[in-house]
Structure 1
Amino acid sequence: MGNLTRRDLVVKVSMKTGLPQQEVAKVFEEILDVFMEVFKKKETIELRNFGVFEVTLRKARIGRNPRNPERDILIPPRAVVRFKPGKEVKGILNAITKDLLKEEELKKKKKT
């Protein structure tokens, strides 16, 4: 499993649409700029059937420094972007979950 970069997305969309990569890259940058503007306003982005992006406040919590685990560290509250998957994405994730569970079962059987 690899990561898909911004460049990879531009190339894929360019190939699917037949549009030049430069045009796709410009549109992609504009979409990201709009996302940032919406996040700055603390608004929600709803993409039907895909999902919802929303800015929420993560509560303060206690963490530990891996180099010094006996000392607790207070992690302050902060704003984060949450993604709630829509219907189609949930369907894909459910299928992936089933596949991953099957893979885990096969790994366990091979070990025994």
Structure 2
Amino acid sequence: MDINSYQQWISQFYKQRNWYEYQPFIRVNFLSEEVGEVCRAIRTIEIGRDRPDERKTDYNQQLENLTEELGDVLDNLFILADKYDISLEQIMNSHKEKLQTRYE
């Protein structure tokens, strides 16, 4: 699936569950929460958690968790972009151009 097709799909998925109706100001807070979960997943992989109340997981389970959390971050970015009618392809192209202009 290409990036534009996924953006359309995830927007429809969120609309069907009435998750899309949250305003961008609220959605960005969901994004912040998910970024925190990515941080926790990376911490677990890199230095561990050392929590007796949490079961230990192996490296593959930790990577699966990180993959899931990164997906949650991406979905929130897709929804925010969609709410402002910006395609992810447009964002990538614009950002690439900015970096090339700045650093080349």
Assess same fold via TM > 0.5.
no
Q: TM-score, normalised by structure 2?
A: 0.29
Higher relative contact order (CA 8 A, sep 6+): 2
Q: Which has the higher helix share?
A: 2
Normalising by structure 1, what TM-score? 0.28
Give the structure with the higher percent strand. Answer: 1
Larger Rg: 1 or 2?
Answer: 1
